[in-house]
Amino acid sequence: MSTSSVQAPLRLRLRLARDRVLVGLCVLALALAIIPLVWVLWEVAKVGGGHLSLEFLTALPEPPTRGGGGWANAIVGSLVVVGIAVAIGIPVGVGTGIYMSEYGENVLGRGVRFLCEVMAGLPSIVAGIVAYSLIVVTMGRFSALAGGVALSALFVPIVAITAQEALKMVPRHQREASMALGVAEAPTTLRVILPAAMGNVLTGIMIATARVAGETAPLLFTAFNSRYWMEGIDQPTATVPVNIYAYAISPFEHWHSQAWAGALVLVSVVLILNVAARTLWARRARFMAGG
């Protein structure tokens, strides 16, 4: 038997061994990522589910010495604040994404892209401080509007980057076909390219919404908190993330229970948005592939 014929199986066994080691390391990394996530979700569902009730979802907070009560005002406040952020962020984010994709092959476009990437990784507390300085100080009071503006600063870059990538995925021949029919560049973008990419754009919007819905730090500086129903977007309002923070650090045991219930509500909303976004993304991918 020749030396080369002996070395070939040896090299093959070494390759197979390296392959098994790498697969094992990948499985270990997956377990290290999944186990803490599952543990957190299980604890939130187990403890929070035991304290979640109809009263919690429909009643106003009670004084800490009485017990009971609910977070209805905080749930409504979160919906309003996130709604303001979405209303501001969708046109600005999608418009920025359209510019970067269709007209951004220049210094300004590259600068905007770089700024969006930086803003996407911006610590949320910085957005809260900026909104506090620009809006709260100017108005002289905390407000839901200031909270929505702070969250929109985190919302816009995610939507802009997603919209840019979604528009770039649209086949070139769709642009060329529209222009060959005499349609100008701007109407082509708005009536042909954007509708074709709308599935992925909506996915990015839902992912961005899920991200800002759980932010606490910006709202501490802007929307602040309240024990009552919101009287207007120019007034302070309670929100679920801020209530979780305030109740969790309080010395009252029944407030801790309500913090767990609030965490369950917040986690459920974020999970629903993420699952919906990924489902929409998968369906869009199958549609584009002709499946």
Predicted confidence (pLDDT) per residue in 171-185, tens digit: 888 888 888 888 888
Instruction: Please tell me the predicted confidence (pLDDT) of residue 27.
Output: 92
Closest CA relative to residue 288, chosen from 200, 180, 225, 161:
200
Instruction: Please tell me the predicted confidence (pLDDT) of residue 8.
Output: 58
Instruction: Please tell me the predicted confidence (pLDDT) of residue 191.
Output: 85
C-alpha count within 13 angstroms, C-beta hemisphere, residue 133: 6
Question: Residue 56 and residue 77: Cα distance in Å, rounded?
Answer: 15
Domain boundaries, the chain: 1-51, 54-288
Q: Which residues of the chain have pLDDT under 50?
A: none
Size of the chain in residues: 291
Cβ count near 106 (within 10 Å): 9
Instruction: Please tell me the predicted confidence (pLDDT) of residue 72.
Output: 93
Inter-CA distances, 214 with 49, 65, 119, 231, Å: 19, 28, 17, 23
Q: At which residue do the structure tokens 């702070």 appear?
A: 150
Instruction: Please tell me the predicted confidence (pLDDT) of residue 68.
Output: 81
Burial of 126 (0-12, 13-18, 19+ CB in 10 A): middle
Architecture of domain 54-288: Orthogonal Bundle (1.10)
φ/ψ of 69, rounded to 5, equals 85, 180
The CA-based angle 172-178-181, given to 5 degrees, is 140
Instruction: Please tell me the predicted confidence (pLDDT) of residue 285.
Output: 62
Q: Tell me the chain's radius of gyration from C-alpha atoms.
A: 25
Question: Residue 249 and residue 35: Cα distance in Å, rounded?
Answer: 26
Kindly report the pTM of this predicted structure.
Answer: 0.84
